[in-house]
Amino acid sequence: MKREIRSPKPSEPSPWQKAQAQAKPAQRSEETRLYGLNACLAAFARRPQAVRKVYLTEARIPALKNVLAWCVKNRLGYRVVEDADLDKLTASRHHEGVCFDMLRAAPLDLAQLLSLQPSSPVPSLLLWLDGVGNPHNLGALLRSAAHFGAGGVIVPADSALDVSGAAARVAEGAAEVVPLAHVATGTNIRSALHAAGYKIAATVPRNGASLYETRLPPRLVFAFGAEGEGMSASLIDAADLKLTIPGSGAIESLNVAASVAVILGEYWRQNAGARPADAP
């Protein structure tokens, strides 16, 4: 029997949301357009006050009753539209019958991201993306990051990488769970991470230590580069570990989203049991 999906009721602000409220306003458009049922429901559950307008098909009314009630209570606009209208609004046929106009979540800086993590020596996992730009890859890796308990993602402040509608849809709600920190060029990220007890592992397609033969530190930042050019040489040189995913050799490497899933799965296998049950 297929489970009926219903819109959740708004939840209490999480530590991430409280930090976002204190974050500096981002230099970018204030609004974004999310689409996809799970992405929209997750955004509403955690940031209902950010909703500005709702578009949905008639078939989605039962699943979005709580959202529509919120719109009525707060005098927000909503429109029942056809699939073709949503195709145009989202520039995608993968909208799943719903689209929200929302205020963007303010990105965190590195200090704010680190303040959300458990203190050393409790295990903690972060991702550092160097040059990754594809929104579908971002969405897929955010989903893996949420599944394996990553505490956040670090991206360069001058990167175009952002949680777009396409990324949020692929993430299936994970974009609301995994904090994103934009770090300015020139920030000594390595020193800040080391001071917080983290080691840095660069993922390289060849000549690194085998992922499956390496003991992964419990407090670890995995750095990933873009497909093709990979990560910068300076970041690789600064890493404490250089890891390669062993394979058949039939192709050079996995794409970044697949690499994230494989590597985080191995980190979870090695370290999940080391985290105290009452750790944050």
What is the CATH T-level fold of the domain 110-274, as seen in this structure? Alpha/beta knot (3.40.1280)
Q: Are 27 and 157 in contact (CB under 8 A)?
A: no
Q: What is the pLDDT along the chain (280 residues), one digit of tens a residue?
A: 444 455 666 665 555 455 555 444 444 458 889 999 999 999 999 999 999 999 999 999 999 999 999 999 999 999 999 999 999 999 989 999 999 999 988 778 999 999 999 988 899 999 999 877 778 888 999 999 999 999 999 988 877 667 888 888 888 888 888 998 988 866 688 999 999 999 999 988 888 999 999 999 999 999 998 765 567 888 888 899 999 999 888 877 788 899 999 999 999 999 975 554 444 4
Q: What local confidence, expressed as pLDDT, does residue 164 receive? A: 80
d(CA 72, CA 174): 27
What pTM did the predictor assign?
A: 0.80
Beta bridge partner(s), residue 9: none
d(CA 218, CA 271): 6
Question: How many CB atoms neighbour CB 57 within 10 A?
Answer: 18
d(CA 212, CA 197): 23
Q: What is the distance between the terminal CA atoms of the chain, rounded to a whole angstrom?
A: 36
User: Tokens 């370290």 map to which residue?
Assistant: 271
Beta bridge partner(s), residue 154: 128, 181
Q: Please determine, looking at this structure, whether the domain spanning 31-103 carries the CATH number 3.30.1330.30.
A: yes
CA angle 244, 254, 165 (to 5 degrees): 125
Domain limits, the chain: 31-103, 110-274
Q: What local confidence, expressed as pLDDT, does residue 29 receive? A: 57
